[in-house]
Structure 1
Amino acid sequence: MAGAGKHDKEKRNEPDAAGPYVVRNPERFALNLARAIEEAGKAAAAWARPREAGEWRDIPAPYAEMAKTLSQLAGYWLSDPGRSLEAQTRLLSGLIEVWAGSIRRMTGEKPESEPIAPEPGDKRFSDPEWSQNPFFDFLKQAFLVTARWANELVENTEGLDEQTRRKAVFYVRQISEALSPTNFLMTNPQALRETFSSDGENLMRGMRMLAEDIAAGGGELRLRQTDRSGFELGRNIATTPGKVVARSDLAEIIQYQATTRTVLRRPLVIVPPWINKFYVLDLNPERSFIRWAVEQGHTVFVISWVNPDERHAAMGWDDYIRDGIELALDTAARRTGEKQVNAVGYCVGGTLLAAALAAMARDGDDRVASATFLATQVDFTHAGDLKVFADEEQVAALEKAMREKGFLEGNRMATAFNMLRARDLLWPYVVNNYLLGREPPPFDLLYWNADSTRMAAANHAYYLRNCYLENNLARGCAIIHGQRVRLSDIRIPVYNLAAADDHIAPAQSVLFGSHLFGGPVEFVLAGSGHIAGVINPPSAGKYRYWTGKGLADTVEAWLAKAEIFPGSWWPHWQAWIERQDSARVPARRIDRRRKMLGDAPGTYVLIQA
C-alpha cells in the first residue's frame, strides 16, 4: 500500500515535471473551451445584430487608403528586379542569422548577443520565456527582424510625397504591431501558461468580456482599459466643490468654490476639449489641476461641453464659441464684476480658444488679458500621425457618414487615438482581457479616457477641414462669425505648453504655431505625453520641464539654449500668471442666495456616448 501511494503521488506530479504547457484536467479543459466557443458566438452575434437590423452604419475604415499606400510601396520595390532581390536578401539574411543563433542555443552554445533586441521601453517581451525558451526566443527575434526590415523598406522608398510616406510609416507600424507574436494565444508564453494552468477558464472569461465589450459598443468593440465600476463622478472623481452657474445647449459653466481668504483679481476661465470630457483636469484631489488652481487663489470657471447628438448636428465653431467660450466670459464677468480674465485652453479646446481670441481681437473685444495653451496646435503643418486620417478622400467620406447621423460616434475618435500608441494603449489590453481573461485594474485616467464623447457633424467637419486638411487657421483663412481671423491679431501674453512625448499635439507642432501669435510667447516644454505631461501635480515630484527665452525653428534648437527644471510646470505657470497681474481681492464665495443649476460636475458630463 505504501508503495502504491508513492506511485500515485509520482503520477500526480508528472504534468508538473513536463512543464507548464500541459493539460492537467482534460475534461475541465474541454468544457471551458466549449464555453469559450459559446461566448465567442455571442460576441459574433453582438457584432452582427445591429447591422442586420439596419441600426448600424459603418463609417468606412481607411482600408482602401492603406491598400493604395502600401501598393505604392510595393510598386517601388517590385518595379526593379535588382532592387527587389536586394530587399529580399536583406530579410532572408536576417532570418538566417536568427535561425543560426537558435541552432547554436539548441546545441548548448550560448550566443554572445541577440541578432536584434527589442527597443528600450518595449514591454511586450518582458516575460522570461521570450529569452529563456529557444522556441519563443526564435519567434521574438524573427518578428523583430521582419518588423525592422519593413520599416527600412518605407525609409528607403524613393519618390513618395510627405503625406504618402507618413501614411506608409503609420500603416506599416500598425500591421507590425498587430502581427506581434505576443498578440496570439499559441505564440504568447504567458497566455499559454494561463490557459493550461486554468484549464482554459481564461479563454472562457476572455470571450465573455469580448461579447460584453462589443455589446457595450453597440456592435463595435469598446475595449475596456479599466474597471469602470470603481468610479462615480462627483463621488471619487471630479469632486472639486462647485456649482453649475450657467447653461446653454452646448455647455454648462461651472464655478468652483474658493478655498483661500483672498483670490487673484482676474478670474480663470478654462476651455477644455470637447473630445472627451473636462474632468481630465479634475481626476482626483491629488491630481486635479482645477483644485490646485483654486488653492492658488484663482476664481475658476470651467466649460463642460455637452455630449452632442443629432440635435447638435449643424452646430459649428461659431456656435461653440458663442454658446461656450463667450457664455463663460459673460458668466465670469457677471459673477465677479471683473472686465478681464485669464483664459486656459487644453488640446482642441485651446485651438478653439485661439480662433475665438483672434475673432475678439479683430472685433476689439479685450475681455481676455492672457492666454494659456496646453498641448494645443494652431498650425497643423507638423501635426503628426493624426494627419494620416486627414486627406480629402477620407474627410469627404467621414462628412458624408456624419451627415446621415448628425454626429461621429465617440468610439471612433477613441480608436484613432489608441492607434497612435497601439503598442501601449491597444494590444496590451487585448492580450490582458481576451487572452488572459483578466479584468483591467481601476485607473482614473483610463476611466476618463474610456468616457468618450460624440462629435457634432458640423463642428468636427470644420475642425478637420480648417485645421488638419487645409490649415486655414494658421494661414489666416478660417472664417469665424462671418469674417476671416488672423492669429497675429492676438497680442496678449501667451503661455504655450508643449509635451515632449506628445503623439497628438507634437512638441514641434506646438512650437511652430507659437510663431503665429502677435504678442509675447512664453514657450515651455514639459516631460512625458499629452495627458501626463499636462496633468502633473507638484506633489508627485515627477518628470521635468524646460524653459527658455524666445522661440526657435525646431525643438532641438530651442532645447540647446533652454534651462531644465525637475518636477511640475504648474508653479512656473502660476508665477507667470502673477507676473501679468498679481492683484488680489477678498475671496469670492458662491452666493447660495442666487439661483444655481446644480452641483459640480454638472449634468452634461453624465451623458454617455
Structure 2
Amino acid sequence: MAQPATEPARTASTARPEASDGAPPAGSPAQAAEAATGLDMVLVDAARGPLRRLVPPAGTALRLASALARKPDTVARRAGELAQELGRITTGRSELAPGKKDKRFADPAWSGNPLLRRAMQLHLATARTAWELIEDADLEWQDDERIRFTATNLVDALAPSNVPVLNPLSLKAAIDTGGASAVEGLRRFVRDLASPPRVPTMVEPDAFTVGEDLAVTPGAVVLRTPVFELIQYRPTTEKVRAVPLVMVPPTINKYYITDLAPGRSIVEHYVGAGQQVFMISWRNPDERHADWDLDTYGQALIDAMDAVERITGQEQVALQAFCSGGIITAMVLAHLAAVGRQDRVRAASYAVTVLDWSRAGTVSALMDREAVEAATARSRKKGYLDGAQLAEVFAWLRPNDLVWNYWVNNYLQGKPPPNFDILYWNADTTRMTAGLHRGFIDVAVRNALTQPGAVSMLGSPVDLSAVTVDTYATAGIADHLCPWQACYRTTQLLGGESRFVLSTSGHIASLVNPPGNPKSTFQVAEKTPPDADTWLEQAETVQGSWWPDFTAWLGERSGEEIPAPEALGGNGLDVLGDAPGTYVFDK
C-alpha cells in the first residue's frame, strides 16, 4: 500500500481540529475562497515584496540553525532517512504518495509515468524532511510560525506540478489545442503581471454583476454620510421583530459578502426569519480620507444606530459584526458602557472576529518590528493601504490554493478560472485609510483590547469586561487567518452571557453557510469555560447551518412581533435610492 507523504506538522499553539463534513475539496474554488481574506492581512504590508516570503527573518533563520546544530544526531538521522528514500525513489521501490486531498498530483500520469512519479516522490520526500526538521527544532511559537510560512512558500513553489514541461495537464492541453493553450496561458500571465496584485486571476472580472447577480436582496439606502451608506431591507414577512438588527461588515472588503447570490445570502435569510435588517455599506476611501481612524468608524456606527432607532421608533438595536467590523463594534460597546448608554444595544454578535491577539495565527507571528514599520510607512505615504496589495499578501498565505492552483489552470492549461461568487467579492478590493490601518496595527501589536484602558474609543477608555450585553460568536474550524481558538477568547474578554458556535470550513465559507447543505454541521456547548479545548470537549455537533440557530437566539432577544413596516425610511429619513446603493460600486 502506498505511503502518504507526511503533511506539515502543527505546533501546539496553532493546532486545531481537522475540518470534517462540509469542508470543500482541496484546490476547489470553495477552498480557495476560505483562504481569501481576513483582518490579519492589514498587519503585513505587501510592500515587503514576494521574494521576502521566500526568506525568513534573519533572527528566525539563525535560531533554527542554532536549534538544529544542538541536535546533530537528529539531523544526521533525518539526512540518512532522506538518502534512503531517495535511493528507493531512484530504483522505483518508493511507496511515497501524495495525500488524498492533494489535487496537484491527481492526474494518473503522476503515478503511471516513471519519470513523473520519481519527480513527484522526490518533491514529497524533500518536503517531508523539511517539515520534520522544523518540528525537531522545537522553536518558540512565533519563530515556528515564521519558518513554516517561509517553508510552505518554498516547498509549494518548487513542486513539479508548477513546471510546464512536467505537468501532464499542461502537456495534454498543448497537444489538444495545437499549442493554443500555451499562447493563451502566456497572454493571461502577461496581463496578470502587468498590474497588482500580480497573482493569477481567481475569477474573471465580468463573471458577476453587483446588483444583478450579487447583492440583490430588495432594500433601499435611507442614509448617506461621507463614511457610509445605510441600507434598510424590505421585510418579506407580515410581522417582524421589534428590535432591529444592524449589520457591521468588514472595513477592508465590500459589504455584500453578507448578501451574495439568492439562496446564499445571510441578509436574505435574516429577513425571511422576520428580522428588521439594516446594513452599513462602507465607502471605499482614498487619499482624501487618510485621517479617518478608529474614532471615525466608531462614530459612524453610532450614527447608523441613531438612524435605525429614528426610522423604527425603537430604543434598542441588535448588532452583528464581521471580522474587522467586530473590533470597531466591541470598542463602541465599551464606549457606550463607559458613558452609561449600553442599554441601547440588546444583543451583539461577532463573526470570525479576533479581539485577543496573543496568538492569532501565522500573521500574528509575522508581525516583527520591520513589518509593522513598513506597513505604517507605506499607508501613511499614500494615505491608504491598497486593496490590491492586500490581495497579493492574501494569496501568498495559502499559495497552493490561491497561487499555484490558478497558475496551472490559467497559465499552463490556458483556461479561464471557474466562476465563484466569493472569489469575485474577494477580487472586488477596497482601500483602508492610513488612520484606520494605523489604529488596527496598534491594537494588534499591543494586544490592547485585553488590557482595560489601554486604548480609547470616542474619548472613553475601552474595558471589554464592562460590556455585559449577550454575545453570540462564530468561528470556522479550518480558519487559518482567524483561528477559532483566538475567536473563542472573545467570549472571555466580554462580560455578559456568551454563546459560541464553531462552524465547518474556513474564514469565509464558515460564514456563507446556507441551510440545505447535508454536509454542514456546527458545534455548540451550553457554557463557555475559560479554555477553548475544554469547550470543544463539551460541545455537541449539530447537523446543518448555524444561521437558523442564530436567528432563533436573536429572536429571543429582539422583542415582540409587530406589523412589518409598509414603507422604508421614515421620520425624516427618506429613501435615497435602491439597494445596493452607490458606495458599493466605488473603485
- Normalising to structure 2: TM-score of the pair? 0.87
On the 8 A contact 1:95/1:145 being kept in 2, the answer is no
Q: What amino acid sits opposite 1:436 in the alignment?
A: Q
Given that residues 546 and 564 in structure 1 are in contact (C-alpha distance below 8 angstroms), is that contact kept between their aligned partners in structure 2?
A: yes
1:213 offset after TM fit, Å?
A: 2.1
Q: Which of the residues 129, 132, 143 maps onto 1:152?
A: 132
Q: CA deviation at 1:492?
A: 0.6
Query: What is residue 24 of structure 1 aligned with on the other side?
Result: none
Higher helix residue share: 1
Partner residue, 1:301: 278
Closer/same/farther in 2, CA of residues 223 and 328 from structure 1, 3 Å limit: farther
1:66 aligned onto 2:56? yes
- The answer as to 2:222 corresponding to 1:255 is no
Name which of structure 1's ranges 354-363 and 574-583 shifts more when overlaid on structure 2.
574-583
Shift of 1:98: 4.0
Q: Is residue 336 of structure 2 the alignment partner of residue 357 of structure 1?
A: no
* Mapped partners of 1:327, 1:313: distance in 2: 20
Query: 1:557, 1:116 → 2: CA distance?
Result: 37
The 1:398/1:498 distance shift into structure 2, 3 A limit, reads: same
Counterpart in 2 of 1:201?
A: 180
Distance (whole Å) between structure 2 residues aligned to residue 404 and residue 600 of structure 1: 34
Structure 1 residue aligned with 2:538: 561
Tell me the equivalent position of 1:191. 170
Sort the Cα spacing of 1:589 and 1:386 in 2 relative to 1 into closer, same or farther, 3 A. farther
Q: Which amino acid aligns with 1:403?
A: R
The structure 2 residue matched to 1:143, chosen from 123, 135, 142, is 123
Change (3 A) 1:347 1:227: same
Equivalent residue, structure 2, for 1:335: 311
469-478 or 264-273, which deviates more: 469-478
Q: Is this contact kept in 2: 1:542–1:568, CA < 8 A?
A: no
Aligned mates of 1:78, 1:555 — CA distance in 2:
32
User: Which residues of 2 match residues 206-285 of structure 1 at below 5 A?
Assistant: 206-217=185-196, 220-285=197-262
- Residue 408 (structure 2) aligned to one of 428, 431, 437: 431
Which of 538-547 and 374-383 deviates more? 538-547
Is residue 2:503 matched to residue 1:545?
no
Task: Compute the displacement of 1:416 (Å).
Answer: 2.4
Q: CA deviation at 1:230?
A: 2.6
CA–CA distance in 1 between the matches of 2:176 and 2:87? 30
Return the letter of the residue paired with 1:359: H
CA contact (8 A) 2:298 2:458 kept: no
d(CA) in 1 for partners of 2:378, 2:524 = 44
Q: Map Cα deviations across residues 349-399 of structure 1 (whole Å, 9 max, x no partner).
A: 112111111111111112111001111111112211121442222111111
* Structure 2 residue aligned with 1:536: 513
- Segments of 5+ residues of structure 1 without an aligned counterpart are 1-56, 105-110
Q: Secondary structure at the match of 1:208?
A: helix
Tell me the distance in 2 between the aligned counterparts of 1:488 and 1:70. Answer: 36
Distance change >3 Å, CA 131–CA 553, structure 1 → 2: farther
| Structure 2: runs of 5+ lacking an equivalent | 1-44
Question: Quick one: which amino acid aligns to residue 169 of structure 2?
Answer: Q
CA drift of 1:409 comes to: 1.1
Q: Deviations over 1:173-194 (max 9, x none)?
A: 1111111111111221211222
Shift of 1:596: 2.2
Given residue 96 of structure 1, which amino acid in structure 2 is its aligned partner? Q
Offset of 1:116 from its aligned partner? 3.0
Q: Which has the larger radius of gyration?
A: 1
For 1:53, the equivalent position in structure 2 comes to none
Partner residue of 1:596?
575
Greater shift after overlay, 570-579 or 414-423?
A: 414-423
Q: Secondary structure at the match of 2:319?
A: strand
Matched, 1:167 2:146: yes
State the AA in 2 paired with 1:195: A
Q: Is the 8 A contact 2:85 2:125 kept in 1?
A: no
1:74 and 1:262 map into 2 onto residues whose CA distance is: 63
Q: Which of 103, 113, 117 does residue 133 from structure 1 map onto?
A: 113
User: What is the Cα deviation at residue 583 of structure 1?
Assistant: 0.7
Residues 592 and 249 from structure 1, CA distance in 2 versus in 1: closer, same or farther, beyond 3 angstroms?
closer
Partner of 2:471: 494
Q: Could you report, residue by residue, the CA deviation over 1:474-493 in whole angstroms, capped at 9, with x for unpaired residues?
A: 22212212332011011010
Separation of aligned partners in 1, 2:523 and 2:164: 44
Q: Mean alpha-carbon deviation: is it higher for 586-595 or for 478-487?
A: 586-595
SS in 1 for 2:220: strand
Structure 1 partner of 2:494: 517
Give the match's secondary structure for 2:408: helix
For residues 388 and 183 of structure 1, do their structure 2 counterparts lie closer, same or farther at Cα, with a shift above 3 Å needed?
farther
Aligned to 1:22: none
- What amino acid is the match of 2:479? D
1:427 & 1:121 partners in 2: Cα distance? 15
Question: In the alignment, what sits opposite 2:19?
Answer: none
Report which stretch shifted further, 248-257 or 587-596: 587-596
State the AA in 1 paired with 2:91.
Answer: I
What secondary structure is seen at the aligned counterpart in 1 of 2:513?
A: coil
Distance 1:229 1:242 in 2: 24
* 2:433 alignment counterpart: 456
| Alignment TM-score, normalising by the size of structure 1 | 0.84
Does residue 446 (structure 1) correspond to residue 436 (structure 2)? The answer is no
Amino acid at match of 1:161: E
Amino acid at match of 1:176: V
- Structure 1 contact 231–444 (Cα < 8 Å) conserved: yes
Letter of the 1:133 partner, please give it: N
Contact 2:319 2:348 in 1 (8 A): yes
CA distance in structure 1 between the partners assigned to 2:46 and 2:499 by the alignment: 44
Q: How many residues align?
A: 537
Deviations 1:87-128, CA, capped at 9 Å, x for gaps: 255235324324424524xxxxxx5xx543323422111111
Q: Secondary structure at the match of 1:560?
A: helix
- Distance verdict in 2 for CA 1:491–1:592, change over 3 Å: closer
| Structure with more relative contact order (C-alpha pairs < 8 Å, separation 6 or more) | 2
Specify whether residues 446 and 579 from structure 1 end up closer, same or farther in structure 2 by C-alpha distance, changes over 3 A only: same
Match of 2:65 in 1: 75
For the structure 1 residues 211 and 420, does the alpha-carbon distance in structure 2 shift closer, same or farther, using more than 3 Å as the test? same
> In the TM superposition, what whole-angstrom CA distance separates every residue of 1:2-34 from its partner, at most 9, and x where no partner exists?
xxxxxxxxxxxxxxxxxxxxxxxxxxxxxxxxx
Q: Which residue matches 2:375?
A: 398
CA contact (8 A) 1:73 1:168 kept: no
Question: Paired residue for 1:311, among 272, 288, 291?
Answer: 288
Distance, in Å, in 1 between the alignment partners of 2:394 and 2:516 is: 29
For the residue of structure 1 that corresponds to 2:226, the secondary structure is coil
CA deviation digits over 1:193-230, x for unaligned, max 9?
A: 2223333322211121122223353xx51531112313
CA distance in 1, matches of 2:514, 2:271: 13
- CA deviations on 1:305-356 (whole Å, 9 max, x unpaired) are 1111101111110001112x11210111111000101100111111211111
**Separation in 1, partners of 2:380, 2:555:** 46
Q: Does 1:96 find its partner at 2:76?
A: no
User: Match of 1:429, SS?
Assistant: helix
Instruction: State the AA in 1 paired with 2:104.
Output: R
Alpha-carbon offset, residue 566 of structure 1: 0.8
The AA in structure 2 aligned to 1:338 is Q
